[in-house]
Amino acid sequence: MEAGPFCVLIARWSPGTIADLALLSAYHLQLLRGYRGMSGKQIQTNLKQHGLHLSNVSVATARNMETDPPRMKKRNARGTRGNIYIVTSAGAQYVEDQLDAQEKNSTDEH
């Protein structure tokens, strides 16, 4: 799977849930831009820079942590009251599977 800027990822897969949208944003930040973890604000800011919005980042990330296996994990940020979110290997695989499926569907249509 070839990765690209966030707008390319959105063009390849349009997530239908807030959990998937948050996961795609976090995937972009962590796996493609090199963040070691990100705050909910960073996930939201990444989306806003591309004209997208999450109504509730906490709910979206919690849904990703409740999947089996979890697609995201949370850890407390040192020196702050906030949390840092991390995409798990299962979460990365889920995103890549969705991107690949959409790419396959678009090539099958041509």
Q: What's the CATH class of domain 6-104?
A: mainly alpha
- For the cut 70, the answer to whether the pLDDT of residue 4 exceeds it is no
Residue 26 to residue 65: CA distance in whole angstroms? 13
With tokens 């969705």, the residue in question is 98
Q: Name the pTM for this structure.
A: 0.86
Confidence of residue 87 (pLDDT cuts 50, 70, 90): very high
Domain ranges of the chain: 6-104
Handedness of CA 34, 13, 86, 61 (dihedral sign): positive
62-80 pLDDT per residue, tens: 999 999 999 999 987 666 6
Average pLDDT, the chain: 88
pLDDT at residue number 75: 86
Given this model, what pLDDT does residue 11 score?
87
Between 75 and 108, where is the model more confident?
Answer: 75
Q: Nearest-CA neighbor of 87 among 76, 75, 99?
A: 75
Q: Give the span between the Cα atoms of 68 and 13, in whole angstroms.
A: 22
Is pLDDT of 19 > 50?
Answer: yes
CA distance 106 to 110: 7
